[in-house]
Structure 1
Amino acid sequence: MLISAMGIYAPFWMMVLGGCHRQHRGLGFLSVSTRSVVSDKRGMATGIAIMGFGGGAMIGSPLAAELMKYFATPTEVGVWQTFAVMGVLYIVAMLCGAFGYRIPASGWKPEGWKQPVAQGANAMITHGHVHVNKVWGIPQFWLVWMVLTMNVSAGIGVIGASPMPQRGFRRKPDRCRRKIRLDKTQLTAIAGVAAGFAALLSLFNIVGRFFWASLSDKLGRKMTYTLFFLLGGVLYFSIPASAGSANKLMFVGAFCVILSMYGGSFSTVPAYLADLFGTQMVGAIHGRLLTAWATAGIIGPVVVNYMREYQLGLGIPREQVYNQTMYILVGMLVVGLICNLLVRPVADKYFMSDAELAEERRLAHDRAKAGEVGKSHEAFYASSSLTVALAWAAVGIPLAWGVYRTLLSAAKFFH
């Protein structure tokens, strides 16, 4: 069953605002809650919601730049005015997103929907539900934790190595080792290359979140991650050769596909967890799994920076310092591939009994009723055509503007 526009609106915009301001202390809470409210067509649904996280930066960054230009004066750069305007926009959009949530009745299913048969691509989908307190002792949780850690560490490592195109795709090292002073025009051109390249990566990161997660509904989550590691390993390995041969198309293509898989890993893993551990407590389980993201945020940059400084100390030309790093990242992908291949369906002993599940659902219903959170599923699907059209416009117009600005910036890279 396809998701209605009102269903997309709330998690999408909550994730957009998280992506606009990633240093916010509430980011972890926002991220987990919005990724875990959707479960039908799990891959596609989480992919759409998490597109908002990447889209936030794509919309927020150019918007902030435009606002600062508008408010700039000879004595001020317009920072506080920009923050004030964006703060108001955040409040309005966040409230609309929050009030757009709908909580279905306990045990509710879409009309005509049937539980997928556990075979083929759906072999990992469970009919049971694991309590969050048990997840730490389940091997599959730690295997998926390692899968996400290795994939994200490698992805962050590639992002850290993204200055490679600014080196000019030299075919041979500069043996003269002369310091060259660049004029303002040349510095501007280099900055344009860097901005265009970053914009292109951002766009593929966002598209990958929807594409790979949707594809996982067909291939299965385990097979999708296997593809991430195998295809990613080949592309990482090819980067030094394409950079050394000045093959810009091959070099940029590899980076773009890699970043699409980096984004895709985030949007696929909530569905992976729901398949393995059930949907009742997937939000809480997902929150625990995201410690892998935090770990990868340390491992990726440390490896890239250490290898860069180490190789510079050996006298290796700057345009070649990331070559060995790519091979190390391939090793990380191999570790992730092994962990992914070891994932098996969760044993029955870890699932809640019918009585335990009924009690958890009763408690969840009581908490929702006491807090007057959301409305029934009937109200969710009774939205008027005008409301649906406005919801799609609220999502589509800002995103289209962000894509347009990103493509303008990316075009400079190929000039």
Structure 2
Amino acid sequence: MLTDSNLVPPLLGLFCLNTVLAVSILGGVYSVLPAYEADLYGRKHVGAIHTRMLPSATLASILGPAILLNLRSLQETKMKSDLIAVTDPEILKSTFNVDNIETLTQIKAVTIQKLMELAPPGTLDPSPFLYNSTLYTMAGLVCTAAVLHHLVRPVHSKYYEKSQQLKNK
């Protein structure tokens, strides 16, 4: 059982370890990226290529979490609306003392847990499914990135510019 007090410390330690590993890997990727780009495209234009890649990575690191947060928020709003639809309007009105419960959901005064308490017996708790759309979106983006990475091919060495030393010999 996840709420067992003996199980929580090892899970917390595992979570912290995974977080540290994930953060440390990100720095490693950026440290070897110029060498990887040089292997793919030749050394002459690595600076220009890397300079163009960094703003796109920055933009992705800002927009990515914002998009995923909005997807989660949309899913939460949909789940609340579904629970409101199956709950008796009189119970909602007497519990929250308002005629329009949608206003309370928009200002986050109504939670899924509170609505589950008011929902009819046998109503499925949607909380475990709250991150489904977010995780499916992330999985789709990772798969797309993997395919795009697989499609990258090195530039043939015959297109490299000869260095000055080889021209003089």
Report the CA distance shift for 1:300/1:270 in structure 2 as closer, same or farther (over 3 A). same
The aligned counterpart of 1:335 is 144
> Which sections of structure 2, spanning at least 5 residues, go unmatched?
81-111, 114-126, 165-169
- Residue identity matched to 1:333: V
The aligned counterpart of 1:309 is 73
Residue number among 16, 27, 35 corresponding to 1:271 in the alignment: 35
Report the CA distance shift for 1:349/1:289 in structure 2 as closer, same or farther (over 3 A). farther
The one-character-per-residue Cα deviations of 1:182-227 (angstroms, maximum 9, x if unpaired) are: xxxxxxxxxxxxxxxxxxxxxxxxxxxxxxxxxxxxxxxxxxxxxx
Deviation beyond 6 Å, 4+ runs, structure 1? none
The aligned counterpart of 2:11 is 247
Report the CA distance shift for 1:280/1:348 in structure 2 as closer, same or farther (over 3 A). closer
- In structure 2, distance between residues paired with 1:256 and 1:324: 26
Report the CA distance shift for 1:256/1:330 in structure 2 as closer, same or farther (over 3 A). farther
- In structure 1, distance between residues paired with 2:136 and 2:15: 15
TM-score (norm 1): 0.24
The aligned counterpart of 2:160 is 351
- In structure 1, distance between residues paired with 2:16 and 2:136: 18
Report the CA distance shift for 1:263/1:327 in structure 2 as closer, same or farther (over 3 A). farther
| 1:6-405 paired onto structure 2 within 5 Å | 247-313=11-77, 314-315=79-80, 321-322=130-131, 324-348=133-157, 350-352=159-161, 354=162, 357-358=163-164
Root-mean-square deviation (CA), in Å?
A: 3.3
- Residue identity matched to 1:272: Y
- In structure 1, distance between residues paired with 2:43 and 2:12: 44
The aligned counterpart of 2:119 is none
- The sequence identity of aligned pairs, in percent, is 34
- Residue identity matched to 1:303: I
- In structure 2, distance between residues paired with 1:308 and 1:283: 38
SS in 1 for 2:19: helix
- In structure 2, distance between residues paired with 1:311 and 1:249: 30
Larger Rg: 2
Q: How many residues align?
A: 113
- Residue identity matched to 2:142: L
The one-character-per-residue Cα deviations of 1:65-96 (angstroms, maximum 9, x if unpaired) are: xxxxxxxxxxxxxxxxxxxxxxxxxxxxxxxx
Report the CA distance shift for 1:263/1:296 in structure 2 as closer, same or farther (over 3 A). same
- In structure 2, distance between residues paired with 1:281 and 1:345: 14
- Residue identity matched to 1:283: G
Cα displacement (A) at 1:282 = 1.6
CA contact (8 A) 2:42 2:155 kept: no
Cα displacement (A) at 1:324 = 4.4
SS in 2 for 1:280: coil
The one-character-per-residue Cα deviations of 1:205-264 (angstroms, maximum 9, x if unpaired) are: xxxxxxxxxxxxxxxxxxxxxxxxxxxxxxxxxxxxxx9xx9323333333332222232
The one-character-per-residue Cα deviations of 1:269-295 (angstroms, maximum 9, x if unpaired) are: 112112112223322221012232133
Cα displacement (A) at 1:300 = 0.8
Report the CA distance shift for 1:332/1:256 in structure 2 as closer, same or farther (over 3 A). farther
Higher relative contact order (CA 8 A, sep 6+): 1
CA contact (8 A) 2:72 2:131 kept: yes
Report the CA distance shift for 1:265/1:325 in structure 2 as closer, same or farther (over 3 A). farther
- In structure 1, distance between residues paired with 2:71 and 2:14: 24
The one-character-per-residue Cα deviations of 1:324-350 (angstroms, maximum 9, x if unpaired) are: 424432322222222222232212453
Cα displacement (A) at 1:266 = 1.7
TM-score (norm 2): 0.51
